[in-house]
Amino acid sequence: MGIHNLDGLFNPKRIALIGVTINPNSVGGKVLSNLISGGFKGVVYPINPTSEAVLGILCHPDIKSLKNKPDLAILSYAADKVPGYIRECGENGVMNIIIMSSGFKEAGEMVDVEKEI
């Protein structure tokens, strides 16, 4: 079984969680908890410039500070910040992104931001 174009999305080895907080009930906190308790065998990089660690895992301030490029980034940040994080991911070679943010067109807001994405 070789490497396929969608392996980084469906079978990632390294995941960056952008916007994870120390609040275990936040979207990012729940995703991190689920990855850990669900038996994810890869590496998880919590990205949070203001926290030292989340659930005992060392946080990194941004994607570019990671030693190894993630296969997948999961964004759980405010809608208006998402385009900037997508750019940062692209500039640092992250090819797969899942956006878990709300407040776009479905909420009648950020229509221009959604179009930019």
pLDDT digit string, tens, across residues 17-32? 998 888 888 888 899 9
Residue 49: which domain range? 13-116
Give the pLDDT score at 44: 96
Question: What stretches of 12-80 adopt beta strand conformation (E)?
Answer: 14-18, 43-47, 53-54, 57-58, 72-75
Query: What is the number of structural domains in the chain?
Result: 1
CA distances from 53 to 28, 46, 63, 84, 85 (A): 13, 8, 15, 23, 20
Is residue 71 in a domain?
A: yes
Coil, helix or strand for 9?
A: helix
The parts of the chain modelled with pLDDT lower than 50 are none
Q: Is residue 1 part of a domain?
A: no
Q: Is residue 2 part of a domain?
A: no
Give me the CATH number covering residue 99.
3.40.50.720
**pTM, 2 dp:** 0.85
Question: Cα–Cα distance between 77 and 59 in angstroms, integer?
Answer: 15
Q: Which helix (H) or strand (E) holds 34?
A: helix 27-37
d(CA 31, CA 111): 26
